[in-house]
Amino acid sequence: MSPPSIYGDSPSSISHAQAFEAMSLEQLETGDEVDQFDSRFLPICASMILSNDFPFEFFEREGMRNFMKVLNPNIVLPPVDVIEAYVSDLYMKEKLKLKQELATIPNRISLTFDLWESNTAETYICLTAHFVDADWKLNSKVLNFCVVLPTVAEMCERMVEFLSDWGIEKKIFSLNLEDSFKDNILQEQLKSHLGLENGLLCDGEFFHRHCSARVLKLIVEEGLKLVSGDVSKIRESILFVRDSKSRRKKFKECVEKVGGIDSSVRLHMDMSMTVNSTYLMLDSALKYQHVFESFHLYDGDYVSCPSAKEWKRFVHSCCLFVKLPT
């Protein structure tokens, strides 16, 4: 029995997903047993979705449909369910390739385990594998990204399931956890699970590792505490300038008066949880140091300008600052 029309009019027509569930990736690419759309556009549509983070419904939006009609009214794009089936098959093919590669490499694999929180307060876990391939190239591959209950027991159980699914539960060298895990409960439970099958090197002595970037970040944060009062003056100065259109205009006049300053550099505001943003804020403010020192002449309400000694400390801070991955 051939699949129903992808534009079936009958209420009894089965869904596109069911109709194309049994079709292979090759059939979808060539259009075998599928009519009414140009199969050449299937990999193109899938590539656009994957590379640009478009939703699957992107190609059904009225604006996109109108755009395609203007280009060529005879083109019929694949329906959403067919694109979803194609992407799903593509994912499974790529997963199988990676799984085979992980099975064949003789060395062990290091993992990073991160927590993400969506704007709907759902917790996601992201498991990434780091390994050296047969060509001695370092690879980092996201193995799993999914919603999980934010409990240690649930995360530990899912982690073990993931490793078993990828067939690497006996090839793990180390695990790095992000800042959200303040205690050692999760890694100890994982260590116990993986140790049951003698899957860890040296009985797990090297299992839990601290990320060097995180260690540097902690050092920088401690250093910033020593100059927190000075940094606050920079933060207040930038907020003062950006507070109103008239102040921004006065600041621009002051920049022109002082001269020799690249006005294309934007003043950055930092975020309290991101060390990198504090670096960007200090670095941008230093470029306008002489402007801030003169700005009180243009606006008498400006009283947050750092002293010459504090500006000097900022210079030293930026020289020693490490831009860390966030």
In a domain, 2, yes or no: no
Is residue 113 domain-shared with residue 157, that is, in the same domain? yes
Is residue 253 domain-shared with residue 288, that is, in the same domain? yes
Provide the domain limits for residue 309.
216-320
The Cα 312–Cα 229 span in angstroms is 14
Is residue 204 domain-shared with residue 165, that is, in the same domain? yes
Name the least confident of 115-119, 155-159, 211-215, 287-291.
211-215
Q: Is the pLDDT of residue 150 over 90?
A: no
Which candidate, 292, 179, 273, places its Cα nearest to that of 224? Answer: 273
Is residue 174 domain-shared with residue 236, that is, in the same domain? no
pTM score, whole prediction = 0.57
Q: Is the pLDDT of residue 10 over 60?
A: no
In a domain, 4, yes or no: no
Is residue 198 domain-shared with residue 236, that is, in the same domain? no
Q: What confidence tier does 282 reach under pLDDT thresholds 50, 70, 90? A: confident
Is residue 226 domain-shared with residue 308, that is, in the same domain? yes
How many folded domains does the chain comprise? 3
The Cα 101–Cα 99 span in angstroms is 5
Q: What is the CATH number of the domain that holds 198?
A: 3.30.420
At 284, list the tokens: 């941008």
Average pLDDT, the chain: 78
In a domain, 123, yes or no: yes
Is residue 205 domain-shared with residue 113, that is, in the same domain? yes
**What are 23-73's pLDDT values in tens digits?**
555 555 554 444 477 778 888 888 888 888 888 888 888 888 888 888 888
